[in-house]
Amino acid sequence: MYCKKPQMMCPVVHPPKKCVKHFYHEKIVPHVHPIVEEHVHHNIYQHKHMQPISKKECCTTKHCHTKCPPRPKCGCQSHHHGGHGPMWW
């Protein structure tokens, strides 16, 4: 028997088998949300009006001096009549 070298044939190419490997890379994305704090001071002026009352008392005094008519041997007699008007005797 005579052995011949095997003859090389064209290869049979099968569709590729897909093998997926996942690699995760963590990324940090900063989100800035600024807050503006505003302080508003309100000044409220309450105007309270007052009307102070001052009392003034006045007293009037009237003195009337009259001459007594001459009487025989007697002078003026003083009679108190509450200080109102001239005193006649």
Q: For 24-55, what is each residue's pLDDT tens digit?
A: 999 999 999 999 999 999 999 999 988 888 88
Q: Which residues of 50-76 are buried (b: 16+ CB within 10 A; e: fewer)?
A: eeeeeeeeeeeeeeeeeeeeeeeeeee
Q: Does residue 17 surpass a pLDDT of 90?
A: yes
Q: What share of the chain is helix, strand, coil (3-state, %, to 5)?
A: 0, 0, 100
pLDDT recorded at residue 69? 67
In angstroms, the CA 46 to CA 51 distance is 16
Does pTM surpass 0.85?
A: no
Q: Does residue 66 surpass a pLDDT of 70?
A: yes
pLDDT recorded at residue 74? 55
